[in-house]
Amino acid sequence: MIDPHVHCRDGNQSYKETIAHVFQIADSQGVTKIFDMPNTDPPILREIDVLNRFKLVPKERKNDYYMYIGATDDETQLKEAIHCARKFKEVIGIKMFAGHSVGNLALPNISQQQKVFRVLVDERYEGVLVVHCEREDQMLPEKWTAKIPQSHSWARPKEAEIESVRDQIGLAKEAWFKGTLHIPHISCPEAVKLVDEAREFLRITCGVTPHHIMWNSKKQGLLYKMNPPLRDEDDRIKMLQLLREGKIDWIETDHAPHAIGEKLYAPYMSGFPSLYIYKEFVEEFLPRHGVKVDLLKKLTYENIAKTFHIGEFEIKVKKKKKKEKTNI
């Protein structure tokens, strides 16, 4: 199985988590391969950052580690990110944050996001672009108070996600983006509907976390603060149904550990170490709620491997390209 969304913290935040330890957790949860996110400290933005990251991967797991490279609104950096995605098979795609979450990679302005799509199209990038979708002008930060942990869900309402997903689909369509647009940790049925409708004219996918399927916003405590936040029970039930219907492409944990003090006290960091519950979620929770084995295979491996050309799907892609060259 593949977890295409984990946050290893190697670097200045290695006290929170490391690549080596994530693999230990993954082994205990039946997960073989992981995709690491770039909002590290320092962030993964250039080839030197990629090469330094490779040095941290245990030798025996070199073939199981993949990473995203971050996107900024600097054209030179974006071109270098595209170069890395083409040069290194381990660089599985590019990640853009369309709103602030954890780290300093946010591009909250539509003009910044538009520029990213323009550069990707001009450079003929046809890989995967992952976009964290939360629109800041739809957020209500004044509603947040640590005394009421549930208020995080009020401060970052689902409208912020829905409108951001709508933005990204519109920008991709406008730019004639030929790659795959992926919406990670999708958390509300309205956003899934937008993605499903966009499949008619875009290569687009979405993934869901265990925590957005298992829990609702009444789950008490600062430990359950994450971005996007937990939604209400009605949304949770609808998301589970959409997962059963195959409207969501895969499961991704968004494994995001922090020190316990950072969760329970200021700065009250957002993130949950969901890789620890992967096995329970896949082997117990989902089957108990009507998710069949064939769909589980797609959600945990096949859809991911096809999109990112991993394993046997990489071989098929190579054969297809070779055949195309022969025909030419």
At 152-199, the pLDDT tens digits run 999 999 999 999 999 999 999 999 999 999 999 999 999 999 999 999
CA–centroid distance for 65 within its chain: 15
In angstroms, the CA 15 to CA 18 distance is: 8
CA 191, 197, 203, 205 torsion: positive or negative?
positive
Return the ∠ at Cα 268 (arms to 8 and 33), rounded to 5°: 20
pLDDT of residue 313: 84
pLDDT of residue 102: 87
CA-nearest of 45, 131, 41, 34 to 85 is: 45
pLDDT of residue 176: 98
The answer, yes or no, to whether residue 259 has pLDDT greater than 60, is yes
At 46-73, the pLDDT tens digits run 999 999 999 999 999 999 999 999 999 9
CA-nearest of 90, 101, 103 to 62 is: 90
Helices (H), 176-276: 189-198, 210-214, 233-244, 260-264
The answer, yes or no, to whether residue 206 has pLDDT greater than 80, is yes
pLDDT of residue 316: 54
In angstroms, the CA 57 to CA 273 distance is: 20
What mean pLDDT do residues 99-113 have?
94
Q: How confident is the prediction for the chain on average, in pLDDT?
A: 95
pLDDT of residue 113: 98
In the structure encoding, which two tokens stand for residue 256, read together?
């995001």
Extended strands (E) in the chain: 2-6, 33-36, 65-70, 91-97, 128-132, 180-183, 203-208, 250-251
pTM of the model: 0.95
pLDDT of residue 321: 45
Structural domains of the chain in order of their starting residue, each with its CATH number = 2-327 (3.20.20.140)
In angstroms, the CA 268 to CA 229 distance is: 13
CB contact at 8 A, 133 and 182: no
93-102 in b/e burial notation, b at 16+ Cβ within 10 A?
Answer: bbbbbbbbbb
What mean pLDDT do residues 243-259 have?
98
